[in-house]
């Protein structure tokens, strides 16, 4: 794990809610592509269920990070792509299972008209910094 510094509210910027404004780190950069609610066989998990899809997405993120020698502790930035902002509580709940509030990364949440297949409700990408 790299040494990360979090700046939740830089001077002159409104305090962050559910994310950190700035995360600084030094080490090896890891980029994880947007993950979808697919199981290891490529089958959709949680059709129409944002909570089930969010749990699968975060499990896929965990596995991808692990493959790179990283953990959620190393994540500095996440982007949530959602088809409906009403799915954000499910994403935050799944994130909370993996990332405690005192280690929240920088986050962007983007509402999109659709994802690669209509049954997907969300896609989440992550960037991490791992100690060299």
pLDDT of 2 over the 70 cut: no
Which structural domains are found in the chain, ordered by start? 19-130 (3.30.1330.40)
Higher pLDDT, 43 or 17: 43
Task: State the pTM of this model.
Answer: 0.91
- Cβ neighbors of 23 (< 8 A, separation 6 or more) are 4, 5, 6, 7, 76, 77, 105, 106
Kindly report, residue by residue over 33-86, the tens digit of the pLDDT. Answer: 999 999 999 999 999 999 999 999 999 999 999 999 999 999 999 999 999 999
Strands 22-25 and 4-7 turn out to be antiparallel
Kindly report, residue by residue over 87-97, the tens digit of the pLDDT. Answer: 999 999 999 99
Q: What is the pLDDT of residue 1?
A: 58
**Residue 5 and residue 25 in contact, taking contact as beta carbons nearer than 8 Å:** yes
- Dihedral angle computed from the Cα positions of residues 105, 110, 114 and 117, in that order, rounded to the nearest 10 degrees: -10
């Amino acid at each position: 794990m790299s040494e990360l510094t979090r700046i939740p509210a830089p001077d002159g910027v409104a305090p962050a809610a559910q994310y950190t404004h700035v995360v600084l780190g030094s080490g090896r950069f890891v980029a994880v592509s947007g993950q979808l609610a697919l199981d290891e066989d490529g089958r959709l998990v949680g059709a129409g269920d944002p909570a089930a899809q969010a749990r699968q997405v975060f499990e896929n993120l965990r596995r991808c990070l692990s493959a790179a020698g990283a953990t959620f502790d190393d994540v500095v930035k996440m982007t949530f792509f959602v088809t409906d902002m009403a799915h954000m509580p499910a994403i935050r709940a799944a994130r909370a299972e993996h990332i405690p509030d005192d280690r929240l990364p920088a986050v962007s949440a983007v509402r999109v008209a659709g994802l690669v297949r209509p049954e997907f409700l969300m896609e989440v990408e992550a960037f991490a910094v791992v100690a060299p």
